Amino acid sequence: MKKCLALTLALVLALGCTACGGSEKKETKAETTAAAESGETAAAASDTEYKATDIEYHSVAEIQKRGVFHVATEATFAPYAFKDADGNIVGLEASMAQAMADDMGVELVIDDMAFDSVLPSVQAGLDDVAIAALTPDAERQKSFTFTQSYLSNGQMSLVRAEDVDKFKDESAMVAGVTMGAQKGSYQQKVADTLYPDCTGRYLETIPNVIMDLKAGNIDIAIMDYDNAYSYAQQNEDLETAFVVPMLDGDEPANCAAAMKGNEDLTNYLNELIQKYIDDGSMQKWYEEAVELQLSLSEAE
């Protein structure tokens, strides 16, 4: 399964919205900032009657009035969002966010933070939207309004190559097995729910989970399909193992999240997402991100 990276994009969802015409955008690098360091968030002062905690503050019209589109992400999640050799945030989601800002006619600011801070940042009004490979499970949908899926690919397990025969299917997930995932991620929730007999060890970033796996601190990592395949392709000592199912009622989707009830913004973004899928931009950004990730790995 190690060389099957290309199959995942075939699962991109084209849901809901009517396609819009549009020409291919020139790729640009997103302006990036750490919200905690810069203070330049969507909550910055502007000529508006709304507060940053108001849904209306994050409407398309208000974003255009301020001239800045603030996006929360966690930039260690290749090929979605990661940093290039110069420290710029790149990847599928960065390219998509830049295109969204361009279509709105505003500047893009990507606020990079710990994954478990991404959704709270939107809820607090510090960012307009979170774009961080978010699965819209039932629990999250109680607090946020999600866009349609821009990429759907499910979950996969990753193990050391020497252990691949031990983990042919879920029957291997028994007491004594230590599993890893990104802290606060949907995969952590899945791991705890589906494999309660195993011991969980959850870290802040996917690269740290990979280091843990290589060091033997965990036996198996549960992650997004693309993460698993990418790391297997980059590392001869790692192999993908078995497909990890979604929890009952959850769909294998990656969506952007806005404040609960912000249909004005999510409906607008849905139109853009559908356009990017239909005109081939999403496929292009994905392929460019995978190629860049591999080139950065080879340069190390």
* pLDDT tens-digit map of 77-122: 999 999 999 999 999 999 999 999 999 999 999 999 999 999 999 9
Q: Which of 277, 235, 287 is nearest to 254 (CA)?
A: 277
Q: Which of 5-9, 97-101, 295-299 has the lowest mean pLDDT?
A: 5-9
223 alpha-carbon distance from chain centroid: 11
Q: Which residues contact 122 (CB under 8 A, 6 or more apart)?
A: 72, 128, 129, 130, 144, 257, 258, 259
- The domain spans of the chain are 12-152+251-299, 155-244
CA distance from start to end of the chain: 24
Q: Which fold has domain 12-152+251-299?
A: D-Maltodextrin-Binding Protein; domain 2 (3.40.190)
User: Alpha helix locations (H) across 105-216?
Assistant: 115-123, 138-141, 186-194, 206-215
* Strand ranges for 123-254 from DSSP E: 129-134, 144-146, 155-160, 178-182, 199-203, 220-224, 238-244
What global pTM score does this model have? Answer: 0.78
* pLDDT at 41 (0 to 100): 58
> For residue 143, what are its two tokens?
């607090």
Res 43: pLDDT: 55
Work out the average pLDDT over 158-174.
97
12-152+251-299 and 155-244: same fold?
yes
Report the pLDDT averaged over residues 243-259.
Answer: 93
d(CA 125, CA 257) in angstroms, rounded, equals 12
For domain 155-244, the CATH superfamily is: Periplasmic binding protein-like II (3.40.190.10)
